[in-house]
Amino acid sequence: MTTTVPEPAALASTPSVERLRVKIFADGANLEGMLALYRDPRISGFTTNPTLMRQVGVTDYRAFAHEVIAAIPDRSISFEVFSDELEEMERQAREIASWGEQVYVKIPVSNTRGETTGPLIKSLSKAGVKVNVTALMTLDQVRDVAGNLAGGAPSYISVFAGRVADTGRDPVPLMAACVEALRPFPECELIWASPRELLNVFQADAIGCHIITVTHDVLKKLSLVGKDLDTYSLETVKMFRSDAVAAGFTL
């Protein structure tokens, strides 16, 4: 008797970028790359941070930000404060917010001493500053931040799902719980931050996450979405063969 094994749902369905509801934000600090993605209608916004800026050699924060804003005037862009003192964070946040209507100010969930930025983000949000609270990794943090942003300006809450995954934990249940926790707060949008692979885009979409930030390296893989797997398998075999020949290997 032959037993038919049902095909897993993940293999039976072909993913489609066109059917995605989650908004894709490009994460990076290379202006040329950002402009190329600006021409891509699939990219709804942009985020950056001091680490990414340093990696590409940015030395004048203000000048770089103004150049980006002038070149990308009509999509959400997040720039981060870099002070470790709450009072200076506020000053920087207000200046950054003044650079453009589409600008969101990234503020870490705490400073390096573990002091919460809750009162600061509440004050800024009530004053009309659009904030992107970043570096969250727990549901309790999300609930606390949402409470501080309630009734304020439009805001983002960035949960670093990729870093959660780096610890061996499945981030999907956490992110799904965060989606539910934010339902009473329509002014807050959840960002799936630091994804590690293109699959995360579809995972974020499946749970109803509002936004996912994606690096340029991962975005390059969008062209692979829905690719025939038999074709991809053969291409992989050809790649191994080609590289072996090019290396001149012998046994």
Which amino acids are annotated catalytic?
A: 106
Helices 118-126 and 139-149, packing angle to 10 deg:
30
Q: Can you tell me the distance from the alpha carbon of 84 to that of 110, in angstroms, rounded to the nearest whole number?
A: 9
Collapsed DSSP state (helix, strand, coil) of residue 101: coil
The C-alpha R_g of the chain, in whole angstroms, comes to: 21
Asked if residues 157 and 182 have their Cβ atoms less than 8 Å apart, the reply is: yes
* Count of Cβ atoms closer than 10 Å to residue 174 Cβ: 19
Distance CA 83, CA 105 (A): 13
* Contact (CB, 8 A) for 127 and 118: no
Q: Tell me 100's DSSP state.
A: -
Q: Which residues contact 150 (CB under 8 A, 6 or more apart)?
A: 185, 187, 188
170 within 8 A of 203, measured Cβ to Cβ: no
Q: What pairing do the DSSP bridges indicate for beta strands 103-108 and 188-192?
A: unpaired
